[in-house]
Chains A and B, each alone.
Chain A
Amino acid sequence: MSYSDKVLDHYSNPRNVGSLDKSSQDVGTGLVGAPECGDVMKLQIKVNPQTSVIEDAKFKTFGCGSAIASSSLATEWVKGKTVEEALQIKNTEIVKELSLPPVKIHCSVLAEDAIRAAIHDWKKKNNGVAQNVPATTEARQ
């Protein structure tokens, strides 16, 4: 299987690799894994408490090129978005942007899961409200 140019670009030149201070009140951390392939992905966001805008995002992924590219792209996309906007990112958009083949779709699912997990962590820290109540999310489709 050959990787698309965009995957190769993110893979050889990943954006936003690194970590943020996990204990900071403004930082949300998502750690997710895909048992299909054994990949593990950590994605962190730093959120402006006034505006809910994601001001910074970092990731560290151990896995295949597609998983690295998916999470690299995810950090690019969430930056500058509000938390609610970021929750609308779909794995299918990642698939399209990176031209992922069907066998690598789970990498994009993992990246979406990582975004959600990070936002969930941040919300839990800040509202003390777990987002498992459907009515609490504003933007829904």
Chain B
Amino acid sequence: MSRAGHWAAQPGASVVNVLMANPESKSSLIMPGEATSTCWSCGTMRAVHFCSACGKVQPPVPVNYFTFFALPRKLNLDTALLEREFYELSRKLHPDLYARADQQEQEWSMEQSSLLNDAYRTLKDPIKRTEYLLRLEGVELEEQSKTATEKARATGEVKKQVVPPDLLEEVFELNMQLEELRMQKKMGEDDPALIEELRKQKLKFEEKYEALFEELKGYWNQWDKLVDSGDEEARGKVRDQMLDLLNRRNYIRNLVRDVNEALEN
């Protein structure tokens, strides 16, 4: 309630910044805000972007990207529909349409446009969409890692590493080989066997990378079924599995990128 009032007091505050900043809690991302729920112009219950009664552009409220497009917080998403919505809204928010509007409306339409672009870019990409949802669900990778380290320091307990040790070993080994290759190239030497080996490894990791995406889609289905169930424990479990998968995927992505660079140079 008080937060809604806080937002109402600063209608010009950039919602984009609020959404991009690391949310301290889930609630900072989901604030429909009673005080801003009527149209500033005609007083009708407002929609997120335009008043349904008078059609005036509305000051952006800090809603999450799913709410911005009136979508449920699900991961299987009709991207064709999303795209149509995006173009429709882009057209309606076009600066040319507001050239004669007052300054405040011009600013709001610009902020809404900017929010629209960010929301669209985030949701249309399957990985970004998943990462965004995890953030909404309270996942703060870096913060959680720091807290776990502090806990380990204070208690003497062992910190659980988020990346599986065997993957770390593989990544480390492959990096050693890459370094060797770079060194050889610098010296003008050529080791066809090493290059062949790296190519083979790269293929293996690329297959893993693809397989992880398929696995992720399986978690999407689980998540979407659970999203309205109120089963917090099951939701938390799927959330953590997705996080774990994306962590592994990051490693493999970087690794393949580095192998490609080393082979090409």
- Interface residues in chain A, defined as those with a beta carbon under 8 Å from any beta carbon in chain B: 31-38, 40, 42, 60, 62, 87-88, 90-91, 105-106, 109, 112-113, 116-117, 120, 130-134, 136-137, 140-141
Contacts and interface: CB of A to CB of B under 8 A. Distances in A.
A117 B153 CA distance: 11
A44 to B, nearest CB: 12
Contact of B156 (A34, A42, A131): A131
A45 B42 CA distance: 71
A129 to B, nearest CB: 11
B77 to A, nearest CB: 24
A38 B154 contact: no
Contacts of B154: 140-141
B158 A120 contact: yes
Contact of A105 (B146, B152, B171): B146
B251 A33 contact: yes
Contacts of A62: 171-172, 175, 179
Nearest to B171: A40
A109 B146 contact: yes
Contacts of B251: 33, 35, 38, 40
A116 to B, nearest CB: 6
Nearest to A141: B154
Contacts of A136: 156
